[in-house]
């Protein structure tokens, strides 16, 4: 392995020998040579007859490491999930790194290693990337930008648009909400929780692919990240001519998240997640879909939490544990900054 300094220097972004030494020492050992014939600034990908699906995202979470994950693992999971919830299979990724001068090489290496491991679990290859270095104090250690490409069978094209959603469909989520937000908040050291939460950071492609192969009853999916469950469902209802009813007692919330929300006055419906998918499914298949998801490690706490209705079109109504009901609105501001 090439000899490199223990911290990022300005020369590591020069495009010359120092950058090459950084790539050889940190990135290639984990990401590998994408294709035979050496590296270039672009990756030439095999052509598929399936529909291409394309996404991009940036990650600025603070701190870089938190219970259940780190910025690198989250970057892979977020990109994979954005593609998977369209009904496509994730295949390729790029990774761009904005590094602050002085960042420890050991930190960068651990993050890159976790990215390679998560990409392997998700069946995705990181095939191209970029590295830039900014002066000390001009960034917060490390930011990551990703692009993902996947392929979709035409029979799943309706899913990302929600074209087949209708009254009587059921709403399903694959587990507890809000764990990621509370885990990151605790990692910042601002609060101490007696029962710590752990981020749900996970790549959902395997579970989703397995489900699509078993059921034709998936009408819409979305990963529940910033803005939380409430915002995702509000956006869906607003875009289509129907309403959504949620049943608060059915929404899975872990004890650490419930306790933290009670203490801080937060609503778990608006907390970010990094391993949750909400689905609108055919009512007649809801139970069998939920049972399959419960059999998967990433869906053990799956629950049917609501339904689509022809009433109050464009609105989400929450039926509370106290027996009342209220309108649910999308997140108006930033509840927790730099959460992903």
Give domain limits for the chain: 10-156, 170-328
Give 43's pLDDT tier (boundaries 50, 70, 90). confident
Give 195's pLDDT tier (boundaries 50, 70, 90). low
pLDDT at res. 32:
84
CA separation (Å) from 334 to 159, 169, 227, 231, 292? 28, 31, 8, 12, 35
**Residues across the chain:** 340
* Cα–Cα distance for residue pair 122/116, rounded to 1 Å: 10
Strand order in the sheet with 89-100: 51-59, 142-152, 89-100, 125-134
Digit-coded pLDDT (tens) for 76-88: 999 999 999 999 9
| Mean pLDDT, range 209-215, rounded to an integer | 96
pLDDT at res. 194:
65
| Mean pLDDT, range 61-74, rounded to an integer | 97
Res 278 pLDDT > 50? yes
| Mean pLDDT, range 216-245, rounded to an integer | 94
Q: What angle do CA 256, 261, 267 make, to 5 degrees?
A: 125
Answer for the pair 234, 330: CB distance below 8 angstroms, yes or no.
Answer: yes
Longest Cα–Cα distance of the chain, Å, equals 67
* Cα–Cα distance for residue pair 246/106, rounded to 1 Å: 45
pLDDT at res. 42:
78
Map tokens 């587990």 to a residue. Answer: 175
Tokens of 288: 């069998």
Digit-coded pLDDT (tens) for 292-307: 999 999 999 999 999 9
Res 1 pLDDT > 50? no
Q: How many CB atoms lie within 10 A of CB 216?
A: 12
Q: Which CATH number fits domain 10-156: 2.60.40.1930, 1.10.3720.10, 3.40.50.970, 3.30.1330.10?
A: 3.30.1330.10
Check whether domain 170-328 has CATH 3.90.650.10, yes or no: yes
Tokens of 280: 């609108």
Contacting residues for 313 by C-beta, under 8 A, at least 6 apart: 237, 241, 242, 243
Res 14 pLDDT > 80? no
Map tokens 């490491």 to a residue. Answer: 65
Digit-coded pLDDT (tens) for 122-151: 999 999 999 999 999 999 999 999 999 999
Res 51 pLDDT > 60? yes
Res 282 pLDDT > 60? yes
């Amino acid at each position: 392995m090439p000899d490199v300094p223990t911290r990022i220097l300005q020369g590591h972004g020069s495009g010359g020998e120092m950058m090459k030494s950084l790539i050889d020492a940190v990135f290639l050992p984990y990401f590998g040579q994408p294709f035979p014939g050496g590296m270039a600034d672009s990756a030439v990908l095999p052509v598929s007859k399936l529909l291409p699906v394309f996404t991009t995202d940036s990650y600025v979470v603070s701190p870089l490491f938190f219970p259940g994950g780190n910025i690198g693992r989250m970057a892979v999971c977020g990109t994979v999930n954005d593609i998977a919830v369209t009904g496509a299979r994730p295949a390729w990724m790029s990774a761009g790194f904005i590094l602050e001068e002085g960042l420890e090489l050991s930190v960068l290496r651990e993050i890159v290693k976790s990215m390679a491991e998560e990409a392997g679990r998700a069946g995705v290859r990181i095939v191209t990337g970029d590295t830039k270095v900014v002066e000390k104090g001009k960034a917060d250690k490390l930011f990551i930008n990703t692009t993902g490409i996947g392929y979709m069978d035409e029979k799943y094209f309706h899913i990302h648009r929600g074209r087949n959603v209708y009254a009587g469909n059921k709403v399903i989520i694959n587990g507890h909400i809000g764990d990621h937000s509370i885990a990151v908040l605790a990692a910042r050291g601002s609060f101490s929780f007696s029962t710590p939460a752990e981020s749900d950071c996970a790549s959902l492609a395997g579970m989703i692919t397995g489900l699509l192969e078993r059921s034709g009853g998936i009408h819409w999916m979305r990963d529940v990240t910033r803005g939380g469950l409430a915002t995702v469902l509000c956006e869906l209802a607003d875009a289509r001519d129907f309403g959504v009813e949620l049943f608060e007692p059915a929404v899975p919330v872990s004890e650490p998240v419930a306790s933290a929300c009670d203490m801080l006055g937060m609503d778990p419906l608006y907390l970010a997640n990094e391993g949750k998918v909400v689905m609108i499914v055919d009512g007649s298949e809801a139970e069998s879909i939920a049972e399959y998801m419960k059999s998967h490690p990433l869906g053990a706490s799956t629950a049917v939490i609501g339904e689509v209705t022809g009433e109050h079109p464009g609105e989400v109504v929450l039926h509370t544990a106290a027996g009342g009901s209220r309108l649910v609105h999308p997140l108006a501001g930033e509840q927790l900054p730099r959460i992903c």
